[in-house]
Amino acid sequence: MRKKISLIGAGQIGGTLAHLISTEELADVVLFDVVEGMAKGKALDIAQSTSVDGFDVNLVGTSNYDDTKNSDVIIVTAGVPRKPGMSRDDLLGINLKIIKQVAEGIAKTSPNAFVICITNPLDVIVMALQKYSGLPTSKVVGMAGILDSSRFKYFLSQEFKTPTKNINTLVLGGHGDTMVPLPNHTTVNGKSLKQLVTENKITKEKLDAIINRTRKGGAEIIKFLEKGSAFYAPAAAGVEMAKSYIKNLKKTLPCAAYLNGEYGFKNLYAGVPAIIGSQGVEKVVEIKLEEKEKENFKVSINAVKELFEAAIKIDPDLSN
Ligand code: APR
């Protein structure tokens, strides 16, 4: 039987997710939005491309949670995107309220689903989604690391004039200005960035500028678009996670996963490499970090903690 993926939020990312999932025939798609017409319109539009593109999945648009019942995967983008000049953190109050409604809807209709959260500020919203829904921590995960890594890879590919597929990298920490790209765990055509700096193939300054641009990757796009934030790359990253779960690929993917002692942290979500298979997050992979990387990771974790404290002030229920 074909799997079922429900997309909570049928905006820019939700619509792009629906299109990607359909063309890949990964699952039947339910597009859910409080703005019902948007969900229905996009579902119908994509469905009308099936004969041209030759794919065969069911697409439904709705504003009723019953239609999302027994989903295998739920991808959450419901929320308000950042506006120019707005930090991810400004979004917190508005998006917490929305996420509470969404979590209750999911808990009632698809308690066994694998839930991927994309709504910002990511690390805190995913934590709230897990708490509000009561779903197991292994079944609730945030999408950030794949996107951050793919931005880093893209900028490096431009610099080294080589396709992104020749670059391996990893980005740790929270999704935001404190994210931690790891040059020691990054290779271009098999050579580490450290080695490439030593060989003068790239200057330290240039590399730092690329890392900085990666950290601000989302803001750069917001500035161009003026209305709304990035959606093609975030949607592609969400699909990769859904696919690893549905097809039990057990890929190691950087994502916002629940830490229970890994890397020395407990009881919070942060960007780490995690194995995603049919059980959800099957394992958080602990890579060896250098002192400086550990320090940066801690700074990033502290930023997430601080924002979560702010969330608890808005809704004290989150402290339970
Ligand atoms: N339930 C379901 N959908 C909701 C709710 C709700 N309670 N509240 C708002 N929405 C819907 C909006 O109607 C809108 O269609 O969420 C959708 C969000 O879509 P966009 O505004 O187009 O935002 P998008 O670009 O898709 O980004 C969504 O992902 O990357 C993050 O920062 C981004 O938090 C934002 C999220």
- Kindly report the protein residue whose alpha carbon is nearest to atom 35 of ligand 1: 81
Annotated catalytic residue: which of 175, 185, 215, 243?
Answer: 175
Residue 221 Cα to ligand 1 midpoint, Å, equals 17
Residue 178: the pLDDT is 80
Confidence of residue 89 (pLDDT cuts 50, 70, 90): low
- Kindly report the protein residue whose alpha carbon is nearest to atom 36 of ligand 1: 119
Q: Is the pLDDT of residue 95 over 90?
A: yes
Calculate ∠ Cα 13-239-110, nearest 5°. 85
Beta carbons within 8 Å of 91's beta carbon, 6+ residues apart:
79, 80, 81, 82, 120, 121
Residue 80: the pLDDT is 87
Mutate to test the pocket of ligand 1, among 6, 31, 34, 132 (most ligand atoms within 8 A of CB): 34
Q: Is the pLDDT of residue 81 over 80?
A: no
Q: Is the pLDDT of residue 127 over 90?
A: yes
Is there a catalytic annotation at residue 175? yes
pLDDT tens for 132-157 read 999 999 999 999 999 999 999 999 99
Amino acid (1-letter code) at residue 72 = D
Q: Is the pLDDT of residue 201 over 90?
A: yes
**Average pLDDT, integer, range 10-17:** 98
Residue 181: the pLDDT is 85
Residue 131: the pLDDT is 97
DSSP 81: P
Whether the ω angle into residue 234 lies within 30 degrees of 0, i.e. cis, is no
Amino acid (1-letter code) at residue 8 = I
Q: What is the pTM of this model?
A: 0.96
More confident residue, 53 or 60: 60
Looking only at the bridges linking them, the beta strands covering 167-168 and 114-117 are: unpaired
Encode 111-131: b = buried (16+ Cβ within 10 Å), e = exposed: eebbbbbbbbbbbbbbbbbbb
- Ranges 125-139, 146-160, 235-249, 301-315: which has the least confidence: 301-315
Residue 81 Cα to ligand 1 midpoint, Å, equals 6
Residue 163: the pLDDT is 98
Residue 227: the pLDDT is 86
Looking only at the bridges linking them, the beta strands covering 187-188 and 180-181 are: unpaired
In the block, tokens 């069911």 appear at 58
Quick one: tokens of 1?
């039987």
> Where does ligand 1 bind, in terms of residues with CB under 6 Å?
8-14, 33-35, 38, 77-79, 81-82, 98, 101-102, 118-120, 228-229, 231, 234
Residue 78 Cα to ligand 1 midpoint, Å, equals 4
pLDDT tens for 163-182 read 999 999 988 888 877 888 88
How far is 157 from 155, CA to CA, in rounded Å? Answer: 5
What is the maximum span of the chain, computed from C-alpha positions, in angstroms? Answer: 59
Average confidence score pLDDT of the chain: 94
- Ranges 11-25, 48-62, 173-187, 257-271: which has the least confidence: 173-187
- Closest Cα to residue 14, out of 171, 132, 143? 143
Residue 184: the pLDDT is 84
Calculate ∠ Cα 47-50-53, nearest 5°. 140
How far is 110 from 3, CA to CA, in rounded Å? Answer: 13
DSSP 78: -
Distances (CA, A) of 298 to 38, 241, 271: 41, 25, 12
- Ranges 62-71, 211-220, 270-279: which has the least confidence: 211-220
Confidence of residue 1 (pLDDT cuts 50, 70, 90): confident
Q: Are 298 and 307 in contact (CB under 8 A)?
A: no
Beta carbons within 8 Å of 252's beta carbon, 6+ residues apart:
273, 274, 275, 285
**149: part of which helix (H) or strand (E)?**
helix 145-160
Residue 163 Cα to ligand 1 midpoint, Å, equals 32
Q: Are 20 and 239 in contact (CB under 8 A)?
A: yes
Residue 171: the pLDDT is 87
**Average pLDDT, integer, range 219-244:** 94
**253: part of which helix (H) or strand (E)?**
strand 251-260
Residue 88: the pLDDT is 61
